[in-house]
Amino acid sequence: MLAMLCWFLFSCKSQHENTLKHEIISTKIIGGGCDGCELMYIDMPRHINQTDTSSGWYTNIGHKLHVTGTVFKDDGKTPAPDVILYYWHTNDKGLYESKEEGGARNHGDLRGWVKTDVSGRYSICSARPAPYPNDFLPAHVHISVKEPDMPNEYYCDDIVFDDDTLLLPCLNRYPAANRCGSGIVRISLQNDVQMAVHDLVLGLNIPNYPHMK
């Protein structure tokens, strides 16, 4: 009985110490850590362009989606060049389907990278995602950011669509953090392409971000 009690106390102590250790590490990581963002480095090309086109654009999965924007430094005014944005999203069934095994399979095949040009501009050509099946979350595009002089990547608010009927109920339950600014975009239609503009401000509402003085 004494042995069982000692084991229980030791187990609880270890779990508590591990929790504290994780919290301490998280406070030192820019953005506080990111579940799955490390997958951005799997199959990342050596040369990344200012524009990327996913397979969804060519196979016409769902509706074609063209997102453009400017990434600004933390002053919100100065364009930020050479910033890598990694995106991934569901297909027209709301699933992260992939033909690959292992690696970044959990992010599906609709994923890619862009690097901002000297004016901080980027362009993503893909397909509009569908929401998860039988879920309350609106359709979204995940975005991870890797700045050239920062030690780790961090995530910003997902791109979501203002015409999505699931958006407002979700925001009422879970207000947006506005990491790098609002992720809500407005869609305009040009021929058969849904157009959206999404600007980002580096470090905005990002924990542990080393803002310039």
* Cβ atoms of residues 76 and 204 within 8 Å: yes
Q: Cβ neighbours of residue 188 under 8 Å, at least 6 residues apart?
A: 194, 195, 196
Looking at this protein, which amino acid is placed at residue 36? G
Domain presence at residue 148: yes
pTM of the predicted model as reported, rounded to 2 decimal places? 0.86
On whether residue 140 sits in a domain, the answer given is yes
Mean pLDDT of the 132-160 span: 97
91 neighbors 97 (Cβ within 8 angstroms): yes
pLDDT at 128: 96
Neighbours of 88 (CB within 10 A): 23
* CATH number for the domain that contains residue 91: 2.60.130.10
Average pLDDT over residues 99-104: 82
Reported as a single tens digit per residue, the pLDDT across 102-138 is: 789 999 999 999 999 999 999 999 999 999 999 999 9
pLDDT in tens, 11-32: 444 444 444 444 444 558 999 9
Range of the domain at 195: 36-201
